């Protein structure tokens, strides 16, 4: 019964944190960091209990059973995703206060020099700068609530609610940057996100109509091959692929991730897109795998196209943050390549999820480092990144180490994930997929080292630069180191993933 | 765990930790950094020496860490590993001393020495890896750790050289990865088996697969081993500082590639199986022979001293591949012993080239007239190493060529003799004119003023390493029959590991 408490705490803590930081906004910084720490603490407790009991857990909230009440469900897959959220969430929570503090200092400086104050229109006497940090906390903790709830939910309507919560808070966070570009892309992101949720909701309605339940386990027992099943599969897959930015539905992602504030970009790229991927995977594994009308091949092809297209676009970018954003498009493609491969080799799921996990850490680190570089140099033009290696070594190291994982070089989590995917592909003789997997790594090396190469350049004429606080540099570096450690300690996370055999396979890769 | 299982881990962790500590050191704490570097190099040398003694008496050192189920980070020190490990730790000490002198007063030394130590750790890992998975891991780590050294100067040329380096090495690494995964899906194991490889059991039906895997692995390794046509990155990487060139050419990078080829041929496929059942060794020998001639020919036409030396490396390193690919014990001895000999001689040459550039600003061969009078010790070391490269007895290079020739005759591959003769003539053609110009031409009216005037021809830190390595290559040749000489060790490897 104690397990239940930790699981519910993981939803309750960020929710109450969101409310508290909203009400007591002056103290939001400490409240927020405190919430992040307690969430990590309860996750650690949950993990310990989970290891002690080794089995899936199901908690009826308020002791109401499945058809009537809400049930939470926990297995290896969901607890891995929860851990991913906590790690990235903690790093971003440490990073964000300093980032927004610097930004508002920047704004104050620029409004002081400008002849016309930037927000004179508000007309409220002495200019009170909007401190974005105060808005960041409630929104981010709400997002965290949504993420944790999504990974713990076990019925498709509840999942819809969490999906919507995630989508709306993510959009608001994107708009927080406040620039013209950010507002436009946030607007587009909002429409896409709503469209995706709507598709998903339609699928839920169809399934509920046909099988009279929204509980995942009951649905899995009752589902038959009727038109409603096919239609809901199509709708839900489309909606979730849209939210996961699967090629060619990725068009909204680079602008949104590229223009948001650095900590927000890190959250969007590392966690938000993974949530919809997790949901698609969960639905696929519990409901739709038995009804297989060639969807895996289609998803795999789109994933392969994403790997190639996203990487090529990343290579072409002149701006650092856009490069990193396109890299996300490419790396998400890898997750979908697992669908066609997993039919004959369950190791592919482990590979894909390991990639998702290490990508979360690495991409989080990369966006944070990119934010540092942008603050340091005042711009993020890749060809003009001279002296970064000399003056911002910790951030560049974070970028490079995260890059190692993204490329999939050993020793890194990305390497283990790619190894497992490759093994699944080659052992079944699927050479086409194997070549895509390898080619994606080569292209990734191209765009990562393009940045690093320019960062080593000596400056011919010194520019004005701004120092970056140590906490911002180190939270990026620690995340990146985490993605490398995943490559050195792979046995434990893989064993964790396998608990409750979410992939219908008893064999570990 | 006992000492036996700790030592390989210590040898790996030592330079790794050192690298991390050095990154943290402030730029101007020169003395702490130098002390730490030298101390670590000496301790490692001591540990390796201790291991050599025990390996000689038949002991093995093994460390194993579970990474995933079925995949271990496994390191084992046997006779073959010790050969590479010993070479790299001796040369690490020499290069560290040299680098301290070379980089005196230049910026970003903490970064340089940090990555330098990481390179050494990766090289030790490559030498000790006892399965293909671990090998791959350290092989890629080596790529990553050398990149910042190549672009160290931060110029546009350096950036482009770094780019070329990465295109080649990461491309090669990808092929190596593909081959490794493919092999694993067939065999279910990647543990090196010095007594006959681990692919023999697969049977006739898989021979086509195995040939393809062999090609993938060799092309992947051939990039670092600078086999033609995968060699172009090496001459371009010359823009890096001289200690880095030494690292690339003698201590770590090209050696890791060649060492990988040795591992694949002996411990993965088994040389007899590869030669007789798959028939892949003769094509490899031909590629190596082409590389030897091509590298020497290109070296002939370079006026830039470091570029000439780089093409010479392309050629000389392939002696090792050739010796192994001839698939006979005598040729293999020639190849293995050249792993050490080439390292000693080539590092001397690069140290000398660095001395010329640092002390007198000489980069081109045409500027070297009469420099022997100005820098007699440096140029004496250069001459010794160059003569060794040509194969003049009693310097080390002669021993390598002698055994290669004997091995070719033993395997009845007489064409190899012609390759050796042609290559020796070419070596003479590109080294002797330099030696002539250095000693017998008239020097220019005046030499440029040194950066830091001393009583000697250059600073001690720059002068001692090349003289020491030159003497070592002379000793390795003259005392080749003593136990623990490289030659005796190569014989020991062949006796204990490969030909039963």
Q: What is the pLDDT of residues B93-109, one digit of tens each?
A: 999 999 999 988 888 88
Query: B163-169 contacts: CB < 8 A, separation 24 or more?
Result: B163/A449, B163/A453, B164/B232, B164/B233, B164/B236, B164/B237, B165/B233, B165/B236, B165/B237, B166/A445, B166/A449, B167/B233, B168/B223, B168/B230, B168/B232, B168/B233, B169/B143, B169/B223, B169/B224, B169/B233
User: Closest approach of chain A CAs to the CA of B184, in angstroms?
Assistant: 8
Is residue B375 a part of any domain in this protein? yes
Q: Which residues pair with B74 in a beta bridge?
A: B64
Residue B439 near chain A (CB below 8 Å): no
Statement: residue B420 has pLDDT above 60: yes
What b/e string do you get for B335-347 counting C-beta neighbours within 10 Å, with b at 16 or more? bbbbbbbbbbbbb
Q: Which of A445, A451, A505 to mutate to test the interface with B (most CBs of B within 10 A)?
A: A445
Is residue B314 a part of any domain in this protein? yes
- Cα(B181)–Cα(A435) distance, rounded to whole angstroms? 12
Is residue B53 a part of any domain in this protein? no
Output phi, psi for B289, to 5 deg: -65, -45
Q: Which residues pair with B65 in a beta bridge?
A: B73
Question: Which residue from B minimizes the CA distance to A387?
Answer: B154
Are B174 and A449 an interchain contact pair (Cβ–Cβ within 8 Å)? no
H, E, C per residue of B359-383 = HHCCCEHHHCCCHHHHCHHHHHHHH
Is residue B331 a part of any domain in this protein? yes
Q: What's the confidence (pLDDT) of residue A463? A: 66
Number of domains in chain B: 1
Of B255, B268, B245, the C-alpha closest to B116 is B245
Please state the rounded mean pLDDT for residues B308-337. Answer: 93
Average pLDDT over all residues of chain B: 90
How would you class B193 by CB atoms within 10 Å of its CB: exposed for 0-12, middle for 13-18, buried for 19 or more?
middle
Q: Domain residues of chain A, as ranges?
A: 307-509
Residue with tokens 């088996």: B193
- Between the two ends of chain A, the Cα-to-Cα distance in Å is 32
Are A456 and B148 an interchain contact pair (Cβ–Cβ within 8 Å)? yes
> pLDDT grade, residue B299 (50/70/90)?
very high
- Upper half-sphere CA count for residue B271 (Cβ side, 13 Å): 23
Residue B219 near chain A (CB below 8 Å): no
- Cα(A220)–Cα(A288) distance, rounded to whole angstroms? 8
Are B170 and A409 an interchain contact pair (Cβ–Cβ within 8 Å)? yes
Q: Which residues contact A113 (CB under 8 A, 6 or more apart)?
A: none
Q: Which position has the higher pLDDT, A32 or B453?
A: A32
Query: Residue B67: enclosing H or E segment and its boundaries?
Result: strand B61-68
**Which residue range(s) make up the domain with B371?**
280-500
Q: Which residues contact A324 (CB under 8 A, 6 or more apart)?
A: A257, A258, A265, A269, A314, A363, A366, A367, A370
Task: Please state, as a whole number, how many other Cβ atoms lie within 10 Å of the Cβ of residue B414.
Answer: 9
Torsional sign, CA B132, B133, B137, B143 = positive
Please state the rounded mean pLDDT for residues B258-277. Answer: 90
Query: For chains A and B, what is the number of CB pairs under 8 angstroms?
Result: 87
User: Closest approach of chain B CAs to the CA of A65, in angstroms?
Assistant: 39
Of B67, B108, B136, the CB nearest to A488: B67
Q: What's the confidence (pLDDT) of residue A124? A: 42
Of B201, B318, B343, B326, the C-alpha closest to B265 is B326
Is residue A351 within 8 Å of A509, Cβ to Cβ?
Answer: yes
Is residue B355 a part of any domain in this protein? yes
Q: Which residues contact A313 (CB under 8 A, 6 or more apart)?
A: A254, A326, A329
- Please write the tens of the pLDDT for every residue from A192-225: 999 999 999 999 999 999 998 888 888 888 888 8
Q: What's the confidence (pLDDT) of residue A460? A: 65
Is residue B358 a part of any domain in this protein? yes
Are B69 and A409 an interchain contact pair (Cβ–Cβ within 8 Å)? no
Is residue B307 within 8 Å of B235, Cβ to Cβ?
Answer: yes
Winning range, highest mean pLDDT, from A84-88, B3-7, B72-76: A84-88
pLDDT digits (tens), chain A, 509 positions: 445 577 788 999 999 999 999 998 888 889 999 999 999 999 998 888 887 776 777 777 666 665 666 778 888 899 999 999 999 999 999 999 999 988 877 766 655 544 444 444 444 444 445 577 788 999 999 999 999 999 999 889 999 999 999 999 999 999 998 889 999 999 999 999 999 999 999 999 999 999 988 888 888 888 888 888 999 999 999 999 999 999 899 999 999 999 999 999 999 999 999 999 999 999 998 888 887 778 899 999 999 999 999 999 999 999 999 999 999 999 999 999 999 998 888 889 999 999 999 999 999 999 999 999 998 888 888 888 877 777 888 999 999 999 999 999 988 999 999 999 999 999 999 999 999 999 999 999 999 999 998 888 876 666 677 888 889 999 999 999 999 999 988 888 898 888 877 776 434 43
* ipTM here: 0.90
- Cα(B326)–Cα(B317) distance, rounded to whole angstroms? 15
Task: Write out the two tokens for B145.
Answer: 């750790």
Residue B148 near chain A (CB below 8 Å): yes
DSSP letter for A334, please.
H
Cis, peptide link before residue A248, omega less than 30° from 0: yes
Is residue B422 a part of any domain in this protein? yes
- Cα(B22)–Cα(A454) distance, rounded to whole angstroms? 24
Q: What's the confidence (pLDDT) of residue A109? A: 64
CA distances to A246, A249, A353, B195, B389 from A239, rounded to whole Å, are: 10, 10, 20, 57, 68
Is residue B299 a part of any domain in this protein? yes
Residue B24 near chain A (CB below 8 Å): no
Residue B206 near chain A (CB below 8 Å): no
């Amino acid at each position: 019964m104690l397990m239940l408490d930790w699981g519910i705490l993981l939803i309750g803590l960020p929710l109450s944190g969101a409310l508290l930081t909203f009400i007591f906004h002056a103290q939001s910084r400490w409240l927020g960091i405190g919430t992040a720490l307690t969430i990590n603490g309860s996750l650690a407790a949950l993990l310990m209990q989970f290891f002690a009991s080794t089995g899936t857990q199901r908690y009826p909230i308020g002791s109401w059973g499945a058809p009537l009440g809400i049930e939470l469900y926990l297995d290896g897959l969901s607890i891995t995703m929860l851990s991913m959220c906590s790690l990235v969430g903690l790093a971003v929570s440490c990073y964000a206060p300093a980032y927004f503090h610097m930004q508002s200092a920047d704004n104050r400086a620029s409004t002081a020099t400008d002849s016309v104050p930037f927000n004179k229109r508000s007309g409220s006497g002495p200019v009170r700068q909007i401190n974005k940090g105060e808005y960041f906390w409630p929104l981010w903790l709400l997002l965290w609530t949504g993420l944790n709830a999504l990974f713990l939910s076990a019925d498709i309507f509840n999942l819809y609610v969490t999906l919507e919560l995630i989508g709306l808070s993510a959009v608001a966070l994107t708009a927080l940057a406040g620039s013209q570009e950010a507002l436009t892309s946030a607007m587009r992101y909002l429409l896409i996100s709503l469209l995706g949720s709507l598709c998903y909701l339609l699928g839920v309605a169809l399934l509920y109509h046909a099988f009279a339940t929204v509980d995942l386990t009951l649905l899995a027992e009752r589902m038959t091959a009727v038109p409603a099943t096919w239609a809901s599969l199509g709708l839900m897959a489309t909606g979730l692929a849209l939210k996961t930015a699967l090629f060619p539905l990725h068009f909204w992602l680079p602008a949104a991730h590229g223009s948001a504030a650095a900590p927000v970009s890190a959250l969007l790229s590392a966690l938000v897109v993974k949530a919809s991927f997790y949901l698609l995977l969960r639905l696929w594994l519990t409901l739709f795998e038995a009804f297989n009308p060639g969807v895996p091949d289609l998803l795999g092809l789109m994933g392969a196209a994403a790997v190639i297209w996203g990487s090529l676009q990343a290579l072409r970018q002149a701006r650092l943050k856009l490069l990193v954003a396109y890299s996300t498009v490419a790396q998400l493609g890898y997750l979908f390549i697992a669908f066609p491969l997993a039919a004959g080799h369950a190791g592919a799921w482990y590979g894909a999820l390991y990639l998702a996990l290490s990508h979360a850490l690495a991409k989080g680190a990369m966006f944070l480092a990119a934010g540092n570089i942008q603050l340091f140099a005042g711009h993020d033009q890749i060809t003009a990144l001279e002296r970064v290696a000399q003056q911002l070594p910790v951030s560049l190291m974070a970028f490079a180490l995260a890059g190692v994982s993204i490329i999939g070089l050993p020793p890194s989590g990305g390497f283990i994930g790619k190894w497992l995917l490759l093994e699944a592909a080659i052992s079944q003789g699927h050479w086409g997929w194997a070549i895509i997997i390898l080619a994606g790594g080569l292209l990734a090396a191209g765009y990562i080292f393009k940045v690093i190469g320019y960062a080593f350049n000596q400056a011919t004429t010194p520019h004005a630069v701004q120092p970056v606080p140590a906490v911002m540099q180190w939270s990026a570096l620690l995340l990146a180191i985490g993605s490398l450690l995943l490559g050195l300690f792979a046995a434990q996370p893989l064993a964790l993933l396998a608990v409750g055999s979410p992939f219908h396979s008893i064999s570990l890769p | 765990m006992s000492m036996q299982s700790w030592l390989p881990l210590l040898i790996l962790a030592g330079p790794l930790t050192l690298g991390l500590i050095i990154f943290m050191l402030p730029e101007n704490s020169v003395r702490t950094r130098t002390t730490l570097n030298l101390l670590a190099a000496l301790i490692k040398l001591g540990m390796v020496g201790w291991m050599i003694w025990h390996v000689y008496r038949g002991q093995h050192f093994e460390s194993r860490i579970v990474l995933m189920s079925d995949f271990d980070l496994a390191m084992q020190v046997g006779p073959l590993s010790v050969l590479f490990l010993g070479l790299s730790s001796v040369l690490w000490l020499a290069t560290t001393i040299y680098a301290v002198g070379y980089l005196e007063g230049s910026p970003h030394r903490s970064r340089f020495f940090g990555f330098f130590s990481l390179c050494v750790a990766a090289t030790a890992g490559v030498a000790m890896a006892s399965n293909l998975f671990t090998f791959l891991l350290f092989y890629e780590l080596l790529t990553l750790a050398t990149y910042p050294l190549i672009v160290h100067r931060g110029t546009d040329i350096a950036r482009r050289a770094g780019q070329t380096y990465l295109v080649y090495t990461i491309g090669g690494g990808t092929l190596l990865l593909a081959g490794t995964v493919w092999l694993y899906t067939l065999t279910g194991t990647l543990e090196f088996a010095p007594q006959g490889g681990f692919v023999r059991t697969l049977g006739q039906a898989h021979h086509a697969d195995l040939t393809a895997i062999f090609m993938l692995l060799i092309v992947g390794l051939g990039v670092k081993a600078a086999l033609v046509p995968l060699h172009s990155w090496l001459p371009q990487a010359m823009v890096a500082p001289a200690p880095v060139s030494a690292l690339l050419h003698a201590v770590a990078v090209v050696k890791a590639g060649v060492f990988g080829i040795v591992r694949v041929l002996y411990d993965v496929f088994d040389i007899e199986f590869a030669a007789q059942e798959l028939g892949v060794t003769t094509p490899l020998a031909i590629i190596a022979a082409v590389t030897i001639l091509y590298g020497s020919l290109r070296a002939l036409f370079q006026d830039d001293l470091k570029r000439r030396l780089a093409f010479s490396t392309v050629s000389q390193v392939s002696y090792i591949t050739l010796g192994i690919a001839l698939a006979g014990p005598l040729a293999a001895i020639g190849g293995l012993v050249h792993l050490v000999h080439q390292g000693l001689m080539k590092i001397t040459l690069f140290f000398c080239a660095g001395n010329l550039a640092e002390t007198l600003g000489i980069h081109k061969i045409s500027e070297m007239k009469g420099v022997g009078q100005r820098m007699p010790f440096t140029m004496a070391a250069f001459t010794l190493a160059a003569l060794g490269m040509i194969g003049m007895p009693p310097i080390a290079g002669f021993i390598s060529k002698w055994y290669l020739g004997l091995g070719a005759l033993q395997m009845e591959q007489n064409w190899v003799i012609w390759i050796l003769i042609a290559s020796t003539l070419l070596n003479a053609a590109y080294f002797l004119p330099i030696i002539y110009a250095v000693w017998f031409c008239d020097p220019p009216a005046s030499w440029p003023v040194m950066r830091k005037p001393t009583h000697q021809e250059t600073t001690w830190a720059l002068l001692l390493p090349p003289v020491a390595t030159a003497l070592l290559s002379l000793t390795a040749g003259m005392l080749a029959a003593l136990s623990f000489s490289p030659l005796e060790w190569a014989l020991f490897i062949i006796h204990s590991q490969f030909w039963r």
